[in-house]
């Protein structure tokens, strides 16, 4: 043990500050310190505004839907009711899907699952504000991108189950999807790595004079990684056509966002030091997410550079199936989140427009349940991790390189022989 | 051509042939890199094909991966191999695995070039040989040339390769071969036949070693600068050594190694990197596994020490003829 040096009596002892969240288990959730500006109050700068002109927007919240579900203010994207209904449907589908797969994990059909409860608008609305051929570099809570881009639910489940239909041959942890055809880049378990990759893809698109842009997503906790800063540096320096989304759901497993610096400033304000455009957005407001993404996409498409978007939301569930959030925060925190539920808010908006009602909503939920149930049936027919998972020993050695070199071929022989010896 | 010119020519050929090739790195654009490997290329191909990068190796590797995913063939320079570690996670966890984790849906055809190795009084932070870290990584190829002809052909092959390739350049021999006799005047590449480098496109295949000196008494396995040390030591000591230049350590040309060791019955492994868990350990194990009944003596490793690279005592550290000579004689004793 090192001994404590003797302190000079005329100097105060130094003390270390370790941030603490507003409430811990047993206490009432307390969101009173969070300022929530009125919907419609944030100005909308022209798409070609100087980056610095957006910087006041890093300290407020771009919000479109007000308390009564009306779309107000300059950021209202004025979407067609058809598109609004489609987004609602996809958000409901994601929620139902999450619920089912969470249960499948509990039933031992897969090893792991991660829900996006309360964050469905973040991915679904962004997907519609981007073009289909734009490239997405997501993290693990943007399954809504795949749903919105029409990836089959069965294929998602096959991946989760690591079954015979798994497009990734049983190699990835559940939910770490990849779908090149729909511009959804493979998810990495190493946090933040996708962020500079998104920027590199966008730089390449610009180098080639292409018209496609890239978008990346990262969690509030992972912004502390060096790769986050690498990405924003490169994006700014080269004026890369990229949208850098920070999903601030306020929790990184059991560490609250203050541990990543949220007490000091907003995550959107990270844009300021890098001199790029920044927006802070109500992440539970599908219209605001859409409008902000659209704004940033138009900016990127016009060679006006990257935008950093903080999507302020709340992780209403545990981090994953391996996490019990009641151990570190009040039980009902998700329900108390003052920015509400993204699905309820979009639904109320549509009802207010006269484009939706409770009956249709109930039918939509049933339809989503049926679609997910049907997909699950099809997927489970191909096996689950618990029973009938992907099993082809030869493929274990494929795709390390384009061709199988001698040392892997030898190891493949060994694996085959070991199986044979075990009578398989 | 010297090795720098040969590498420059490889870039030039590939930038000219293939629109998808881009080159970047710290100081690599306008100035052409601290060793001038990319000199003149920005002027010729424009600054969106050859450009300077921020001092952020993780960013350089991470964005290069993104470019490769797009369909470009980035050639990223890490200014010194000693500085590759901030990019380590992007190489190890990402570049090396993307093909595998996506079941072949995506690949990362990218090259990371970096000058490595000692003998230039670079101190601890400009002298290291980190190849073993990368040889240990699944999904990464590791290439190390020893002369200008190979350097150009291997770099072109690396750029054309569909997988991520680490290309370590022995900086001590950029301007001329170096045999480890540090007090002798250095001869330029001009007098070496391996410096006759064609102007146009050609490749030297990745994964093929070269027998650079035939012999019957002992096999010396080496790469990079150490190839020259092996050749000179064998000549000076009058030892009938067969010297193999591995050229690529992953994938390794095991056939050539096996054939030679079975013929000579003795093997010395030579590299600059620290000894413990260095690539020499792998070579020694492979030879032992495959050639045991042909061996007349234990396989011996001649390497750097397990210390950081010292500045003032560089020649004590460097595994030159003074360390290789006695090792060869010892292996030949019984
Ligand atoms: C480099 C790295 N470090 C640690 C982890 C373990 N880990 C997985 S998720 C997570 C929390 C991430 O929090 P955040 O970025 O806020 O995203 P969220 O889960 O809230 O969506 C951690 C620490 C990891 N996967 N990768």
Q: Domain of B279: which CATH number? A: 3.40.50.920
Q: Which of B33, B37, B45 is nearest to B10 (CA)?
A: B37
User: What tokens were used for A17?
Assistant: 């500050």
Q: Quick one: pLDDT at residue B263? A: 98
Chain A hits for B70, CB-CB cut-off 8 Å, are: 135, 200-201, 204-205, 208
Has residue A15 been placed in a domain?
no
**A226-237 and B57-70 helices, crossing angle to 10°:** 70
- Same domain for B70 and B122? yes
Q: For the segment B227-265, what is each residue's pLDDT rounded down to a tens digit?
A: 999 999 999 999 999 999 999 999 999 999 999 999 999
User: What tokens were used for B237?
Assistant: 């000591």
| CA of A114, closest atom in ligand 1 | 19
CA angle B41, B45, B48 (to 5 degrees): 105
- Same domain for A268 and A342? yes
Q: Quick one: pLDDT at residue A423? A: 86
Q: For the segment A144-192, what is each residue's pLDDT rounded down to a tens digit?
A: 999 999 999 999 999 999 999 999 999 999 999 999 999 999 999 999 9
Chain A residue nearest residue B48, CA to CA: A207
Chain A hits for B141, CB-CB cut-off 8 Å, are: 401
What are the Cα distances from residue B7, in Å, to A118, A339, B3, B72? Answer: 54, 58, 6, 20
C-alpha R_g of chain A = 23
**Structural domain for B57, as ranges:** 3-173
Quick one: residue A90, left, alpha or beta (phi over 0 = left, psi -120 to 50 = alpha)? Answer: alpha
Has residue A20 been placed in a domain?
no
**Structural domain for A55, as ranges:** 51-380
Test the B interface: residue of A166, A181, A188, A207 with most B CBs within 10 Å: A207
Chain A hits for B257, CB-CB cut-off 8 Å, are: none
Contact assessment for residue B210 and residue B244, using Cβ atoms and an 8 Å cutoff: yes
**pLDDT beyond 90 at A8:** no
The alpha carbon dihedral of B229, B233, B239, B240 has a sign of positive
Domain final residue, candidates B157, B173, B189: B173
Secondary structure class of B77 (helix, strand, coil): strand
Provide the β-strand partners of residue B165: B111, B141
**Percent of chain A predicted with pLDDT > 70:** 100
Q: Quick one: pLDDT at residue A11? A: 86
Residue whose pair of structure tokens reads 């010395």 in the numeric block: B268
Closest CB to A178 among B63, B66, B102 = B102
User: What tokens were used for B221?
Assistant: 């396995």
- Same domain for B126 and B262? no
- Same domain for A283 and A416? no
Catalytic residue numbers of B read 126
Q: Which of B10, B273, B264 is nearest to B116 (CA)?
A: B273
- Same domain for A171 and A143? yes
**pLDDT beyond 90 at A304:** yes
- Same domain for A285 and A424? no
User: What tokens were used for A121?
Assistant: 């608008």
**B3-17 and B148-160 helices, crossing angle to 10°:** 30
Contact assessment for residue B41 and residue B14, using Cβ atoms and an 8 Å cutoff: no
Has residue B202 been placed in a domain?
no
Q: Quick one: pLDDT at residue B186? A: 80
Counting every residue, how long is chain A? 424
Secondary structure class of B21 (helix, strand, coil): strand
Chain A residue nearest residue B46, CA to CA: A207
- Same domain for A368 and A398? no
Chain B residue nearest residue A189, CA to CA: B93
Q: For the segment A392-422, what is each residue's pLDDT rounded down to a tens digit?
A: 999 999 999 999 999 999 999 999 998 999 8
Q: Quick one: pLDDT at residue B238? A: 97
Tally of structural domains, chain B: 2
What are the Cα distances from residue A326, in Å, to A31, A101, A129, A247, B314? Answer: 17, 21, 35, 22, 59
Residue whose pair of structure tokens reads 């209202």 in the numeric block: A76
Contact assessment for residue B74 and residue A197, using Cβ atoms and an 8 Å cutoff: no
Has residue A1 been placed in a domain?
no
Has residue B198 been placed in a domain?
no
- Same domain for B152 and B235? no
Q: Quick one: pLDDT at residue B334? A: 76
Partner-chain contact B105 A188, CB within 8 Å: no
Residue to substitute in A123, A252, A270 for testing ligand 1 pocket (most ligand atoms within 8 angstroms of CB): A252
Contact assessment for residue A12 and residue A45, using Cβ atoms and an 8 Å cutoff: no
Q: Residue A247 is inside which H or E element, if any?
A: strand A242-248
Q: Which of B194, B146, B137 is nearest to B166 (CA)?
A: B137
- Same domain for A341 and A412? no
| CA of B89, closest atom in ligand 1 | 1
Test the A interface: residue of B15, B102, B158 with most A CBs within 10 Å: B102
Q: What is the domain-level CATH number for residue A90?
A: 3.40.50.970
Q: What is the mean pLDDT of chain A?
A: 96
Q: Quick one: pLDDT at residue A424? A: 78
Has residue B267 been placed in a domain?
yes
Closest CB to A186 among B59, B70, B102 = B102
Has residue B203 been placed in a domain?
no
For residue A71, which phi and psi values (nearest 5 degrees)?
A: -90, 120
Q: What is the domain-level CATH number for residue B17?
A: 3.40.50.970
**pLDDT beyond 80 at A7:** no
The alpha carbon dihedral of A394, A397, A403, A405 has a sign of negative
User: What tokens were used for A10?
Assistant: 């005329």
**pLDDT beyond 60 at A1:** no
Q: For the segment A66-109, what is each residue's pLDDT rounded down to a tens digit?
A: 999 999 999 999 999 999 999 999 999 999 999 999 999 999 99
Distance CA A361, CA A95 (A): 14
- Same domain for A395 and A308? no
**pLDDT beyond 60 at A42:** yes
CA angle A15, A16, A22 (to 5 degrees): 120
- Same domain for B169 and B222? no
Has residue B200 been placed in a domain?
no
Has residue A7 been placed in a domain?
no
Q: Quick one: pLDDT at residue A115? A: 98
Distance CA B159, CA B9 (A): 13
Has residue B22 been placed in a domain?
yes
Partner-chain contact A207 B48, CB within 8 Å: yes
Distance CA B122, CA B126 (A): 5
Q: Quick one: pLDDT at residue B183? A: 84
Partner-chain contact B63 A237, CB within 8 Å: no
Q: What letters, b where the CB count within 10 A reaches 16 and e where it falls short, cover B120-138?
A: eebeeebbbbbbbbbbebe
- Same domain for A114 and A261? yes
User: What tokens were used for B226?
Assistant: 């150490």
Q: Quick one: pLDDT at residue B18? A: 98
Partner-chain contact A198 B66, CB within 8 Å: yes
Low-confidence ranges of chain B (pLDDT < 70): none
Has residue A130 been placed in a domain?
yes
Provide the β-strand partners of residue A237: none
- Taking CA atoms only, the protein residue closest to ligand 1 atom 4 is A191
Contact assessment for residue A54 and residue A45, using Cβ atoms and an 8 Å cutoff: yes
Tally of structural domains, chain A: 2
What are the Cα distances from residue B228, in Å, to B111, B231, B237, B269, B320? Answer: 25, 5, 14, 14, 10
Partner-chain contact A402 B101, CB within 8 Å: no
- Same domain for B140 and B219? no
Domain final residue, candidates B156, B173, B190: B173
Contact assessment for residue A220 and residue A257, using Cβ atoms and an 8 Å cutoff: yes
- Please tell me the distance between residue B96's alpha carbon and the centre of ligand 1 in angstroms: 21
Chain B residue nearest residue A176, CA to CA: B101
Has residue A60 been placed in a domain?
yes
Has residue A14 been placed in a domain?
no
Instruction: Report H helices in B24-166.
Output: 41-45, 57-70, 88-89, 98-101, 131-135, 148-160
- Same domain for B221 and B283? yes
Chain B hits for A407, CB-CB cut-off 8 Å, are: 251-252, 254
- Same domain for A329 and A415? no
Residue whose pair of structure tokens reads 């590498």 in the numeric block: B7
Contact assessment for residue A320 and residue A247, using Cβ atoms and an 8 Å cutoff: no
- Same domain for B248 and B102? no
Q: Which parts of chain B are beta strand (E)? A: 21-25, 50-52, 73-77, 111-116, 141-143, 165-170, 210-213, 218-222, 241-245, 248-250, 267-270, 300-302
Q: Which of A279, A397, A346 is nearest to A92 (CA)?
A: A346
Strands B210-213 and B165-170, bridge-based pairing: unpaired
**pLDDT beyond 80 at A118:** yes
Test the B interface: residue of A151, A173, A184, A197 with most B CBs within 10 Å: A197
- Same domain for A237 and A119? yes
Distance CA A158, CA A169 (A): 10
Q: Quick one: pLDDT at residue A37? A: 98
Partner-chain contact A180 B94, CB within 8 Å: no
Has residue B192 been placed in a domain?
no
Residue to substitute in A253, A320, A333 for testing ligand 1 pocket (most ligand atoms within 8 angstroms of CB): A253
Partner-chain contact A200 B54, CB within 8 Å: no
- Same domain for B162 and B80? yes
- Same domain for B26 and B155? yes
Partner-chain contact A401 B104, CB within 8 Å: no
- Same domain for B135 and B257? no
- Same domain for A322 and A405? no
The secondary structure of residue A163, as a DSSP letter, is B
Distance CA A42, CA A281 (A): 10
Chain A hits for B161, CB-CB cut-off 8 Å, are: 402
**B225-237 and B321-333 helices, crossing angle to 10°:** 60
Chain B residue nearest residue A168, CA to CA: B103
Residue to substitute in A194, A221, A323 for testing ligand 1 pocket (most ligand atoms within 8 angstroms of CB): A221
Has residue B124 been placed in a domain?
yes
- Same domain for A169 and A270? yes
């Amino acid at each position: 043990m090192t001994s404590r040096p003797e302190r000079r009596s005329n100097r105060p002892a130094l003390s270390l500050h370790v941030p603490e969240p507003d409430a811990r288990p047993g206490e009432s959730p307390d969101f009173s310190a969070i300022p929530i500006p009125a919907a419609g109050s944030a100005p909308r700068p022209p798409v070609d505004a100087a980056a610095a002109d957006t910087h006041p927007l890093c300290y407020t919240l771009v919000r479109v839907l007000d308390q009564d579900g009306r779309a107000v203010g300059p950021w209202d994207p004025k979407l067609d009711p058809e598109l609004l209904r489609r987004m609602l449907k996809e958000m409901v589908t994601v929620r139902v899907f999450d619920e089912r797969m969470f249960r499948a994990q509990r039933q031992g059909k897969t090893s792991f699952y991660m829900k996006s409860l309360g964050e469905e608008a973040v991915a679904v609305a962004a997907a519609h504000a981007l073009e289909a051929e734009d490239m997405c570099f997501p993290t693990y809570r943007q399954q809504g991108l795949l749903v919105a881009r029409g990836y089959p639910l069965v294929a998602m489940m096959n991946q989760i189950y690591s079954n015979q239909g798994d497009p990734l041959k049983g190699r990835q942890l559940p939910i770490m999807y990849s779908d090149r055809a729909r511009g959804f880049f493979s998810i990495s378990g190493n946090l933040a790595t996708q962020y500079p990759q998104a920027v590199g893809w966008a730089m390449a698109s610009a180098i080639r004079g292409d018209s496609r842009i890239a978008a990346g997503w990262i969690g509030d906790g992972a912004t502390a990684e060096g790769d986050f800063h690498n990405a924003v540096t490169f994006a700014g320096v080269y004026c890369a056509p990229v949208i850098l989304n920070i999903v601030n759901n306020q929790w990184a497993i059991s560490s609250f966002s203050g541990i990543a610096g949220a007490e000091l400033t907003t995550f959107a304000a990270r844009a300021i030091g890098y001199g790029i455009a920044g927006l802070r957005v109500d992440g539970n407001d599908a219209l605001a997410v859409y409008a902000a993404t659209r704004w940033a996409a138009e900016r990127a498409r016009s060679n006006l550079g990257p935008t950093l978007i903080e999507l302020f939301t709340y992780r209403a569930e545990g981090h994953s199936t391996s996490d019990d959030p009641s151990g570190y925060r009040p039980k009902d925190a998700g329900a108390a989140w003052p920015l509400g539920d993204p699905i309820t808010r979009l639904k109320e908006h549509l009802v207010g427009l006269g484009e939706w009602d409770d009956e249709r909503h109930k039918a939509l939920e049933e339809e989503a349940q049926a679609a997910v149930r049907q997909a699950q049936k099809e997927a489970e027919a191909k096996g689950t991790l618990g029973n009938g998972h992907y099993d082809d020993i030869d493929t274990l050695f494929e795709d390390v390189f384009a061709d199988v070199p001698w040392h892997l071929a030898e190891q493949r022989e060994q694996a085959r022989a070991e199986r044979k010896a075990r009578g398989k | 051509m010297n090795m720098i010119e040969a590498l420059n020519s490889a870039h030039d050929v590939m930038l000219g042939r293939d629109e998808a090739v881009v080159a970047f790195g710290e100081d690599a654009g306008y100035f052409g890199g601290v060793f001038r490997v990319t000199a003149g290329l920005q002027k010729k191909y424009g600054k969106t094909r050859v450009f300077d990068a921020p001092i952020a190796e993780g960013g350089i590797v991470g964005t290069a991966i993104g470019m490769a995913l797009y369909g470009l063939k980035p050639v990223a320079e890490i200014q010194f191999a000693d500085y590759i570690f901030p990019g380590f996670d992007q190489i190890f966890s990402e570049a090396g695995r993307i093909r595998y984790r996506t079941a072949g849906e995506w690949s990362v055809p990218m090259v990371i070039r970096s000058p490595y190795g000692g003998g230039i009084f670079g101190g601890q932070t400009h002298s290291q040989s980190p190849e073993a870290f990368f040889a240990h990584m699944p999904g990464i190829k590791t290439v190390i040339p020893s002369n200008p002809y190979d350097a150009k052909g291997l770099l072109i092959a690396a750029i054309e390769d569909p997988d991520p390739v680490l290309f370590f350049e022995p900086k001590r021999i950029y301007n001329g071969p170096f045999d480890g006799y540090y007090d002798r005047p250095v001869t330029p590449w001009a007098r070496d036949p391996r410096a006759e480098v064609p102007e146009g496109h050609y490749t030297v295949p990745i994964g093929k070693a070269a027998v650079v000196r035939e012999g019957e008494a002992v096999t010396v396995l080496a790469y990079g600068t150490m190839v020259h040390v092996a050749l000179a030591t064998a000549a000076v000591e009058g030892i009938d050594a067969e010297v193999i230049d591995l050229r690529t350590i992953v994938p390794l040309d095991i056939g050539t190694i096996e054939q030679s060791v079975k013929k000579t019955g003795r093997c010395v492994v030579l590299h600059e990197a620290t000894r413990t868990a260095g690539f020499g350990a792998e070579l020694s194990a492979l030879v032992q596994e495959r050639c045991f009944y042909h061996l007349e003596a234990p396989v011996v490793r001649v390497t750097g020490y397990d210390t950081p690279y010292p500045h003032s005592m560089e020649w004590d550290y460097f595994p030159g003829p003074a360390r290789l000579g006695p090792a060869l004689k010892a292996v030949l004793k019984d």
